[in-house]
Amino acid sequence: MTLKYHITTFGCQMNVYDSEMMEGIIASRGWERAASEADADLILYNTCVVREGAEQRAMGRLAQLAALKRANPALVVGVTGCMAQKEAERLFEALPHLDLILGTRAIPRLGPMLDRVLATGERQVCTEILDDSFVADVVPIRQRPLKALVNIILGCNKNCSYCIVPQTRGREVSQAPEKIIAEARTLAEHGYKEITLVGQNVNSYKGIGESGEPVDFGGLLRRVSAACPGLRIRYITSHPRDCNEAHISAVAESSGVCENFHLPVQSGSTRVLRKMYRGYSRERYLHLIDRVRSAIPDATLSTDIIVGFPTETEDDFRETMSLMEAVRFDSAYMYMYSPRSGTRAAADHGELSIEVKKARLAELIERQEAIQAEINRNLIGTRVEVVVEDNAPRTPGDLLARTRGDKMVIIPGPADWIGRLMEVEITDANGHTLHARADQGAGDGARNGSISVGGETSLSHCS
Ligand code: SAH
Ligand code: SF4
Ligand code: F3S
């Protein structure tokens, strides 16, 4: 009888990629994906602890698995990801039905650990930080067609005072550029239209090329773009401190790299940024945005913001609001500060009340939504390049597409346009979605792979 697995993923792109690798490892042992947890012989939770809410959600769901385990004692239950790395001992104590704990940098150990649980029924744990924790020789099982994640750097060497990630992901290790390029080429050959290079800090990438030469993030973008004409290249997350001329000019000059900068600012107050250990001031961040915009005038910009950091005053918060006005981000992820034990900020005094944090977050979100709706409405009447990704979930007959700037576009059209790159005209917009129409015959042109964008033919295969 074929054994079946079920994986639930919380958290960021790193976890999504890790789940795809783990799925590759498990499937290579002959297991199949289960339709639901109730149908599975192995249940894995790939967890996140970046904020308290994420941790509580995972703990709640894991506790509920006790009933499934009672009904089927042969079921293997495992926790992986950042909670496994940080809380291994506490988890085994709190959850007696847990069989397996695997840290973020020990994924290559998953196969042998699984074999041992099945053979002996004994609990297995590994939270070792393996020197080379990139998983070799495993083909990840990707969650989506057309768009794929490629991990270029593990870990985080920064030290932001609020953040638990450096403790859960270890020190940085960069993947070799040739391996990244080979993976990008294979993906393009298999029909993927877009890759996203992922890491906690992609632009602190420090690869070593075949001849021993150092390759920085800008160099990597140029190499991947040159090796894979026609493939859209995105990356997440880049740190403002590591966003240098080499990075910006590589985006400006590489036709495959999308002109979208996600640069988490966290706060608009230099005083708070200093307490966060972010390594830049408000002024330096704003200067960086000017440099990006002067190099790439139509670049889209997005950010992450934390409100209610300990001791944040009303004036500090006003500075965050005014920075949002000054930059006018195309989108923003906005969070209330969540104390994480083991971080320096959690030991600080000056924690704000939940009411203050909530009020500040609501005000920030309201203003940001208005700004992004204005930005999007200004696009009405313009023409943009999109890749058609899927059927629209709510409106039959419509398709879901995405611009180079990472905006979602709804276009009416037949399902066989999915996977095509085409130019469309924006007809309507709100804060979250653009509506567009394709030209008469646009679909036919795309079918032949001959839509011309910016003077070059963009639907070619990887060389
Ligand atoms: N490495 C990336 C993002 C890491 S986590 C970077 O530095 O930009 C993603 C986002 O979660 C962060 O940008 C931050 O806005 C948020 N975050 C991290 N720790 C947090 C905490 N303790 N409370 C609230 N938000 C937090
Ligand atoms: Fe966390 Fe800062 Fe590292 Fe981002 S750069 S993962 S916020 S420590
Ligand atoms: Fe969460 Fe770990 Fe990512 S804490 S945000 S899953 S690095």
Ligand nearest to the CA of 169: 3
Counting from 1 in the atom list of ligand 1, the atom nearest the Cα of 338 is 23
Residue 99 has pLDDT above 70, yes or no: yes
In this structure, are 116 and 163 located in the same domain?
no
Return the pLDDT at 450. 29
Which residue from 48, 154, 157, 158 has its CB within 8 A of the most atoms of ligand 2, so it is best to mutate?
158
Express each pLDDT in 213-230 by its tens digit: 999 999 999 999 999 999
Q: State the average pLDDT over residues 119-144.
A: 88
Residue 325 has pLDDT above 70, yes or no: yes
Express each pLDDT in 39-65 by its tens digit: 999 999 999 999 999 999 999 999 999
- Does the beta carbon of 154 sit less than 6 angstroms from any atom of ligand 3? no
- Flag whether 368 is in a domain: no
Which residue from 16, 163, 201 has its CB within 8 A of the most atoms of ligand 1, so it is best to mutate?
163
Express each pLDDT in 259-270 by its tens digit: 999 999 999 999
In this structure, are 86 and 193 located in the same domain?
no
Note the pTM of the prediction, 2 decimals.
Answer: 0.94
- Flag whether 314 is in a domain: no
Domain count, the chain: 3
Name the domain boundary from 217, 238, 258: 258
- Flag whether 281 is in a domain: no
Residue 331 has pLDDT above 50, yes or no: yes
46: domain CATH number is 3.40.50.12160
In this structure, are 38 and 100 located in the same domain?
yes
Express each pLDDT in 279-297 by its tens digit: 999 999 999 999 999 999 9
In this structure, are 154 and 119 located in the same domain?
no
Return the pLDDT at 440. 58
In this structure, are 182 and 212 located in the same domain?
yes
Return the pLDDT at 1. 82
- Does the beta carbon of 338 sit less than 6 angstroms from any atom of ligand 1? yes
Counting from 1 in the atom list of ligand 2, the atom nearest the Cα of 201 is 5
Counting from 1 in the atom list of ligand 3, the atom nearest the Cα of 50 is 4
Return the pLDDT at 190. 95
402: domain CATH number is 2.40.50.140
**pLDDT class for 441, splitting at 50, 70, 90?**
low
In this structure, are 18 and 120 located in the same domain?
yes
- Flag whether 316 is in a domain: no
Q: State the average pLDDT over residues 446-451.
A: 34
Return the pLDDT at 451. 30
Return the pLDDT at 317. 98
- Flag whether 327 is in a domain: no
Which residue from 82, 163, 168, 172 has its CB within 8 A of the most atoms of ligand 2, so it is best to mutate?
163
Name the domain boundary from 126, 159, 176: 126
- Flag whether 32 is in a domain: yes
Return the pLDDT at 442. 57
Name the domain boundary from 94, 126, 158: 126
Which residue from 51, 239, 275, 303 has its CB within 8 A of the most atoms of ligand 2, so it is best to mutate?
239
Residue 184 has pLDDT above 60, yes or no: yes
- Does the beta carbon of 168 sit less than 6 angstroms from any atom of ligand 1? no
**pLDDT class for 135, splitting at 50, 70, 90?**
confident
- Does the beta carbon of 156 sit less than 6 angstroms from any atom of ligand 3? no
- Flag whether 341 is in a domain: no
Domain range enclosing 404: 383-445
Span from the CA of 43 to the centroid of ligand 3 (angstroms): 20
In this structure, are 10 and 38 located in the same domain?
yes
Express each pLDDT in 335-386 by its tens digit: 999 999 999 999 988 999 999 999 999 999 999 999 999 999 999 999 999 9
| SS3 track for the chain | CCCEEEEEECCCHHHHHHHHHHHHHHHCCCCEECCCHHHCCEEEEEECCCCHHHHHHHHHHHHHHHHHHHHCCCCEEEEEEHHHHHHHHHHHHHCCCCCEEECCCCHHHHHHHHHHHHHHCCCEEECCCCCCCCCCCCCCCCCCCCEEEEECEECCCCCCCCCCHHHHHCCCEECCHHHHHHHHHHHHHCCCCEEEEECCCHHHCEEECCCCCEEEHHHHHHHHHHHCCCCEEEEECCCHHHCCHHHHHHHHHCCCECCEEECCCECCCHHHHHHHCCCCCHHHHHHHHHHHHHHCCCCEEEEEEEECCCCCCHHHHHHHHHHHHHHCCCEEEEEECCCCCCCCHHHCCCCCCHHHHHHHHHHHHHHHHHHHHHHHHCCCCCEEEEEEEEECCCCCCEEEEEECCCCEEEEECCHHHCCCEEEEEEEEECCCEEEEEECCCHHHHHHCCCCEECCEECCCCCC
In this structure, are 40 and 101 located in the same domain?
yes
Span from the CA of 200 to the centroid of ligand 1 (angstroms): 10
Q: State the average pLDDT over residues 195-203.
A: 97
Q: What is the mean pLDDT of the chain?
A: 93
**pLDDT class for 456, splitting at 50, 70, 90?**
very low
Q: State the average pLDDT over residues 154-178.
A: 96
- Flag whether 313 is in a domain: no
In this structure, are 92 and 151 located in the same domain?
no
Residue 447 has pLDDT above 50, yes or no: no
In this structure, are 149 and 116 located in the same domain?
no
Return the pLDDT at 125. 96
Percent of the chain with pLDDT over 90: 90
Q: Identify which has the larger pLDDT, 226 or 452.
A: 226
Residue 449 has pLDDT above 70, yes or no: no
Q: State the average pLDDT over residues 13-28.
A: 96
Return the pLDDT at 338. 97
